[in-house]
Amino acid sequence: MDYKLQMGVVSHLEMGSLDHSSMDDLDDECLYNPEMDARKAHSTDSIEQVSLSSSLPVGGRKTIRNGVYKSIKTVVFSNKLNLLMPFGPLAILVHKTTAHNGWVFFLSLLGITPLAERLGYATEQLAFFTGPTVGGLLNATFGNATELIISIYALKIGMIRVVQLSLLGSILSNMLLVLGCAFFCGGLVHHRKEQVFSKATAVVNSGLLLMAVMGLLFPAVLHSTHTERHDGKSELALSRFSSCIMLLAYAAYLVFQLKSQKDLYVPIDEEGSQNEEQSDDDDDEAPEISKWESIIWLAIMTAWISILSDYLVDTIQGASEAWDVPIAFISVILLPIIGNAAEHASAIMFAMKDKLDISLGVAIGSSTQISMFGIPFCVVIGWMMGCKMDLNFQLFETATLFITVIVVAFFLQEGTSNYFKGLMLILCYLIVAASFFVHEDPLSTGESKRPKT
C-alpha cells in the first residue's frame, strides 16, 4: 500500500510538471522564462527526493541484513565444532534448575570449546588489518585468552592453585599431546618420507621454555629448602620480579620474531631450504570478515567465555567430589584437553598437509605464550588484585615441567619428525596424566576445604 501511494505521488508530480511546462510553451514558445526553469528544477528535486526516500532505506536495511547474515554464516555456521555451542546455555540451565555440579562443569567445558576456537579465528581475521607487530601482540593476548579468563575468575575467588595447575596443564598438553598427535598423524600420512621443520624456531622456543622453567624452579627450591631471608615474603617478591623479567623477555622475543629475524621463520621445503614462495602465498590470503566484524565477534566470544568460565570455576570442587577425581587431575589434564581441542585439531590438520612449521607454532608457540606470558601475567594481575599468586608450583609440578621441556627439546633438535617420535610424545603424556591422577595435591585440597576420607 505504501509503495502504491509513493508511486501515485511520483506520477502526480510528473503530470503536474508536464502541465505547467506545456502551458508555458503554448503561451510563449520563443521567450526564455527563468521561472519556468526554477519550477522544473524544483519539481525534479521533489521527484528525486521521493524516489530516494522510497529506495534508500529499503536498500540500506537489506544491505545491513545481508551483511549480518553473511557474518553469522561465516563465523557460526562454517565450523562443525560449533555444534557444541548449545551446551553453554544448557550448562546455565542445569545450574539454575539442579545441583549437579559435575554436569554443569562438563557442559561448560563443552560449551567453551567452540568459543575458544572462534576466538582464535576472530583474532586471526583482525590480524589481517593490523600488521605483523600488532597482530603478534593480538595473538599473544587472545591466543590463550580462554585459559587467562578462567585463571582470572579463579584468582577472584582465591583459587590460586587451580590457576597454577591449569596453566601448567596447558603447557604439558601442548608440548606432549598436541605435538605428539601432530607428529604421529603427519608421519602416518607421509610415511614414505621424513617431515622437516625449521630448527631455528624450535631452538628459540626451547630456550624460552627453559627460561620459564628457571623462573618456576627457583621459587620452588627456595620454598622447599626454607632458605628465605624473609619468611613468606622473599618467595613472593622473587616471583613478582621474575614475572616482570619474563614478560620483558617475551616482548623482546616478539620483536625478534617479527622484526629482526623474519627469515628464520620462513617455512622450509623437503630439502631443508627456506621456501619463500609458500610464505608469499600465505601473505596473499584475504580476510573472510571485516575489521569491525572481527572486533565485534571478539567482544561477543570473550563475554560468552567469561560467563561460562564463572560457572566452570565455581563447579570444579563439586565435579571433583562427584567424580571422585583429584582437583589436580581435573586442572592439569581435563581442562587443557577440552579447552584446547580446537588447537589440537588445527595442529593435526596442518601436519597432515605437511606444514609442520605451522603445527610447531600452534603447539610449541602456544606453550611459549603460556609460560612466558600467561603465567607471569597472572602473577602481575594477582598482585594488582591483592592476591598472593606466585611462581612456586611445588616440586612435583616443577619437576614434571622440567623433564617435559628436556624431552621435547631432544625431539626437536634434529628438525625432523616421524610417527615414532609422535608416538613417544603421546606415551609420555599418558605417563604424566597417570602421575597426576594418583597425585593428591595438598594445597588444592586446602584451598577447596575438601574433607579427607
- For the residues 178-199, what does the mean pLDDT come to? 90
Q: What does the pLDDT average to over 133-139?
A: 64
Q: If you average pLDDT over residues 293-318, what whole number do you get?
A: 89
Determine which of 17-21, 273-277, 379-383, 408-412 has the lowest per-residue pLDDT on average.
Answer: 17-21
Averaged pLDDT, 92-110: 89
Q: What is the CB neighbour count within 10 angstroms for residue 191?
A: 10
- What separation in angstroms does the CA of 60 have from each of 2, 7, 50, 290, 301? 18, 20, 16, 18, 27
Q: Give the chain's mean pLDDT.
A: 79
The cell numbers describing 132, all together, are: 605483523
Residue 59: band (very low, low, confident or very high) from pLDDT cuts 50, 70, 90: low
Distance of CA 314 to the CA centre of its chain: 22
> Per residue in 276-289, is it b (16+ CB within 10 Å) or e — as a string?
eeebeeeeeeeebb
pLDDT for res 384? 93
Mean pLDDT for 214-227 is: 90
pLDDT higher than 80, residue 25: no
pTM: 0.76
- β-partners of residue 169 are none
Q: Which amino acid is at 68?
A: V
Average pLDDT over residues 194-202: 87
CB neighbour list of residue 272: distance below 8 Å, 6 or more residues apart: 196, 415
pLDDT of 133 reads: 56
In 15-33, which positions are buried (b, 16+ CB within 10 angstroms) versus exposed (e)?
eebeeeeeebeeeeeeeee
User: Residue 268: what are its φ and ψ, rounded to 5°?
Assistant: -115, 155
CA-to-CA separations, 67 to 76, 121, 262, in angstroms, rounded: 14, 18, 36
Pairwise CA distance, residues 67 & 293, whole Å: 10
- Identify the pLDDT of residue 6: 46
Task: Residue 383: name the closest of 155, 100, 55, 172 by CA.
Answer: 155
In this predicted structure, what is the pLDDT of residue 127? 79
Q: Quote the CA–CA distance of 417 and 387 in Å, as a whole number.
A: 43
Between the ranges 24-28, 73-77, 422-426, where is the mean pLDDT highest?
422-426
177 or 230, which is more confident?
A: 177
Confidence label for 12 from pLDDT (cuts 50, 70 and 90):
very low
pLDDT beyond 50 at 132: yes
- On the question of pLDDT at 49 being above 70, the answer is no
Whole-number percent of the chain with pLDDT over 90:
33
User: Is the confidence at residue 113, as pLDDT, over 70?
Assistant: yes
pLDDT of res. 19:
46
Q: Is the pLDDT of residue 358 over 70?
A: yes
The Cα 345–Cα 110 span in angstroms is 15
**pLDDT of 409-433, one tens digit each?**
999 988 899 999 999 999 999 999 9
pLDDT exceeds cutoff 50 at 15: no
pLDDT at 131: 66
Q: How far apart are CA 394 and CA 165, in angstroms?
A: 10
Asked if pLDDT for residue 77 goes beyond 70, the answer is yes
3-state secondary structure the chain: CHHHHHHHHHHHHHHHHHHHHHHHHHHCCCCCCHHHHHHHHHHHHHHHHHHHHHHHHHHHHHHHHHHHHHHHHHHCCCCHHHHHCCHHHHHHHHHHHCCCHHHHHHHHHHHHHHHHHHHHHHHHHHHHHHCHHHHHHHHHHHCCHHHHHHHHHHHHCCCHHHHHHHHHHHHHHHHHHHHHHHHHHHHHHCCCCCEECCHHHHHHHHHHHHHHHHHHHHHHHHHHHCCCCCCCCHHHHHHHHHHHHHHHHHHHHHHHHHHHCHHHHCCECCCCCECHHHHHHHHCCCCCCCHHHHHHHHHHHHHHHHHHHHHHHHCHHHHHHHHCCCHHHHHHHHHHHHHCHHHHHHHHHHHHCCCHHHHHHHHHHHHHHHHHHHHHHHHHHHHHHCCCCCCCCCHHHHHHHHHHHHHHHHHHCCCEECHHHHHHHHHHHHHHHHHHHCCCCHHHHHHHCCCCC
Please state whether 324 falls in left (phi above 0), alpha (psi between -120 and 50) or beta.
Answer: left
Average pLDDT over residues 140-159: 83
- Name residue 219's beta-bridge partners: none
pLDDT on residue 260: 63
- pLDDT class of 69 with cuts at 50, 70, 90: confident
Residue 196 reports pLDDT greater than 50: yes
User: Measuring CA to CA, how many Å separate 103 from each of 114, 151, 322?
Assistant: 18, 21, 9
Look at residue 381 in the predicted model and tell me its pLDDT.
94
Confidence of residue 261 (pLDDT cuts 50, 70, 90): low
The predicted structure's pLDDT at residue 123: 82
The per-residue pLDDT for 58 is 56
Place of cell 579447552: 339
pLDDT at 279 over 50: no
Residue 370's pLDDT band (boundaries 50, 70, 90)? very high
Cβ atoms < 10 Å from Cβ of 58: 11
Lowest mean pLDDT among 58-62, 222-226, 345-349: 58-62
**pLDDT mean over 107-131:** 84
The structural domains of the chain, ordered by start, are 73-263+288-440 (1.20.1420.30)
Q: Residue 257 — pLDDT band, cuts 50, 70, 90?
A: confident
d(CA 198, CA 416): 9
* Measured torsion, CA atoms of residues 262, 120, 365, 246, in degrees rounded to the nearest 10: 90
* pLDDT score at 53: 42
